[in-house]
Amino acid sequence: MTTLNVRRVAVQTPVLAKNDARAAVNRGLFHDLGIVAVNLISSPGSGKTTLLEAMAKELGDKMAVIEGDQQTHRDAQRVRAAGCRAVQIETGDACHLDAEAVSRAMDQLELSGSPVRVVVIENVGNLICPSGYDLGENLKAAILSLPEGDDKVLKYPSIFSRIGALIINKMDLAPYMDFDVERAIQETRSINNHFETFQLSAKTGQGVPQFCDYLRNGG
């Protein structure tokens, strides 16, 4: 019988250490500039960019946006047209943003000396990959839209256990959708004790001012 020599190797440096170090720098810069940074995460089609367009009408030049998509500048163009500055990050094959890419986008936004007090980082549409990457944000916010169904929280616990804000979007569709809002909230509460809930419609503007006020007050 062959005896295998097994050597246990201690991993001293976490895989995400480099990202976390850059995220800490980003967080310090946001703090020094008096900016609330929001990492906005959701599935594709949940209404992230539509929400940002509605928020731009409320916050104007007080908000800037970092857009993350695999390809195209379409979302950044939409946000600029709505009235606030935006930078697009194209991630190519990557399914999430990282802190280094956000740092470069911050440089492009030229935040120092600007009136910006809220920076929203629209992550790549995905409920899995973005959840483990710290970008230097003050707040992780997840959008769950009514057409997606009310059963997603426990299917994707990694993100919902980390958020500070649960945004339930497309409430204008409530009369037509079989979506139990209380179920979504309670299932989030079963894995997360520290979050605020916002029920809104980015399309009609319902609830958007309240979310903007929350960010104005520090998130």
**What pLDDT digit, counting tens, does each position of 155-181 carry?**
999 999 999 999 999 999 999 999 999
pLDDT at 16: 85
152 φ, ψ to 5°? -80, -25
- Topology annotation, domain 17-216: Rossmann fold (3.40.50)
Coil vs helix vs strand at 88: strand
pLDDT at 2: 54
Length of the chain: 219
Coil vs helix vs strand at 5: coil
For the entire predicted model, the pTM comes to 0.91
Burial of 72 (0-12, 13-18, 19+ CB in 10 A): exposed
The domain locations on the chain are 17-216
Determine if residue 87 is left, alpha or beta; phi over 0 gives left, psi from -120 to 50 gives alpha, anything else beta: beta
pLDDT at 165: 98
pLDDT at 14: 72
Element (H or E) spanning 66, and its range?
strand 63-69
Q: What is the mean pLDDT of each run of 10 residues along the chain (219 residues)?
A: 56 76 98 98 97 97 96 95 96 95 97 97 95 96 97 97 98 97 98 98 97 94
Element (H or E) spanning 218, and its range?
none
